[in-house]
Amino acid sequence: MPSIKIGQHLLNRLKEINIDVVFGVPGDFNMPLLDLIEDDPELTWGNNANELNASYAADGYARIRGAGALVTTFGVGELSAVNGVAGSYAEMLPVIHIVGTPSTKSQAAGAMLHHSLGDGNFDVFFNMSSMIACASAHLKKQTAISEIDRVISQALLSKRTGYIGIPIDLIFYEVEIPDALPPLQTQLPKNPPQVQEIALRVVSDAISKAKFPVIIVDGCVLRHRCQKQVQEFIERSGFPTYVAPMGKGAVDERLQCFRGCYSGNVTLEAVGEEIKQADLIIEIGSIKSDFNTGNFSYALDRSKTITLHSFATIVFCAEYQKVSMMEFIPLLTQTLPEQPRVFDLGP
């Protein structure tokens, strides 16, 4: 059975999720990991001036590439990155925060080390960061491989930040791995076929009966990287299309059917009137935050709203659990007529 350095396995998994730049700041407990990054021809070290800058760089990178990575050092380094990492969590961005920590021996002995609080408690910063991560791990020899895979997979599935603390003496520590290491689980399970079939029939029926259907595209389309599927649905339908503020960039605004940005009471009057006149509203990937909804004035009539999301499809008041938009939208597109509908709404 082959063996691999724990630190190298971590880097290999980052590359597997399309990461080729690792942002961060050198620190005494993460130096061996930085050596591995420097030696890896497929990775570039971000070389940031401070941890906060590095966290925002990883955030921006994740928006473009689908995931980002950040390396800091125990205590002072990781705390300096908290604002940016918390922002990534709130904005649903899978940023993997990797923290080099003191050696396993020092931690077991409760040594009074620099960067600690001097009380022998080496979990305090880990516990802080766990509150802004969907999954956290402090690596141990026996479970390091599975824990790395668990945190990264969960971050990609949840579109939230993940935290991995790696003791300095485990970065070069070699562990055995299977000959054929399974890939990370980064895709949601397939939609349940029977539930999806019912949802598809109900949604298709509602669309066929609607006289003035509209589409509102929001930020989770970007987070789940299904812009292509949504674009094809819009083009095939021809339905008047709007974006919420966090959905900006998810739709080609040069489309003839694109009508503008909808954000409740702070929307342009003409856009607001069109939404009110709609007899069917299809919202895709909605994020119901105060900023995104015009301070919660984004009040859509549930009785005429269909919600397509990553976790469910909601048709009026009926919810079809685990029917995710990523798989559902292409099927819905196929049910539409080949010629898009035309709506005379003026400029």
Give the CATH superfamily of 3-176.
Thiamin diphosphate (ThDP)-binding fold, Pyr/PP domains (3.40.50.970)
**Residue from 230, 246, 212, 207 nearest 335 by CA:** 207
> What pLDDT, in 10s, does the model give residues 17-66?
999 999 999 999 999 999 999 999 999 999 999 999 999 999 999 999 99
Q: Give the pair of three-digit tokens for residue 103.
A: 């050696």
Look at strands 318-321 and 312-315 and give their pairing.
antiparallel
| Confidence class for position 346, pLDDT limits 50, 70, 90 | low
Mean pLDDT, the chain, rounded, equals 95
> 90-104, 107-121, 225-239, 298-312: which has the minimum mean pLDDT?
107-121
pLDDT at 347 over 70: no
Give the CATH superfamily of 193-334.
TPP-binding domain (3.40.50.1220)
pLDDT at 345 over 80: no
Domain boundaries, the chain: 3-176, 193-334
Whole-number pLDDT of residue 118? 87
Task: Tell whether pTM > 0.85.
Answer: yes
> What pLDDT, in 10s, does the model give residues 296-313?
888 789 999 999 999 999
Equal CATH topology for 3-176 and 193-334 = yes
